[in-house]
Homo-oligomer: A and B are copies of this chain.
């Protein structure tokens, strides 16, 4: 028998999930079938799907790689400027991506870093690299914030026991800390990947949004929308929904099977 609290809480989940479901579902009602089919096999959408997935996965991977040590340092060690660093890392979450995009453009543009990078033969603005960098900085703060809170929930004594059983710091981190933080790492991976896939303004500004070259799925949606190609826009959106749903469903299932007993 379910308790009162349980019923109320589950109802709330159902209600708001239903809302979201309807909102998302509306997308599927819109396009005509022919429009959908012709759009889905267009060069444009196929290219942008490929681009979106490859850049997002790479960017998300880099984010986790940087966010894990950063969040761990913030959670475990004390060092100068720590609370300043924490605030700076939180900041970009509150920016509209467009601000981050402008700032990135400025810094990577002519003046400082840009010309130096160019002299090294590294092009960032208007390239795929630019997209990845934009996605990286948009998503990094989310990952750090979630992982910071997660590492706070992992008891450092487990790490010490591992050390006293002969494992060095790195190994302990890998074998004890990371697995214990699995739940949070998973949560932050989902958020990070989602954020990378969904970034729009920053990627548009830094990547340039060139047709078939740096046009990610969100940009494709934007373009088509501005042209009134609602069918194509919505087809792109549906594809995004399907891809995301597939990826997330698989991830959640995998996590569920692998997390038994961890949390």
Binding site for B on A (CB under 8 A): 2-6, 8-10, 12-14, 16-17, 19-24, 26-27, 29-30, 66, 69-70, 72-74, 77, 79, 83, 85-100, 102-104, 106-107, 137, 140-142, 145-146, 148-150, 152-153, 169-170, 173, 183-184, 186-187, 190-191, 193-195, 197-201, 217-218, 221-222, 225, 233-234, 237, 240-241, 243-245, 247-249, 252-253, 256, 259, 263
Contacts and interface: CB of A to CB of B under 8 A. Distances in A.
A24 B112 CA distance: 14
B88 A20 contact: yes
B148 A187 contact: yes
A252 B86 contact: yes
Nearest to A199: B96
Contacts of A247: 94
B245 A87 contact: yes
B69 A263 contact: no
A19 B23 CA distance: 38
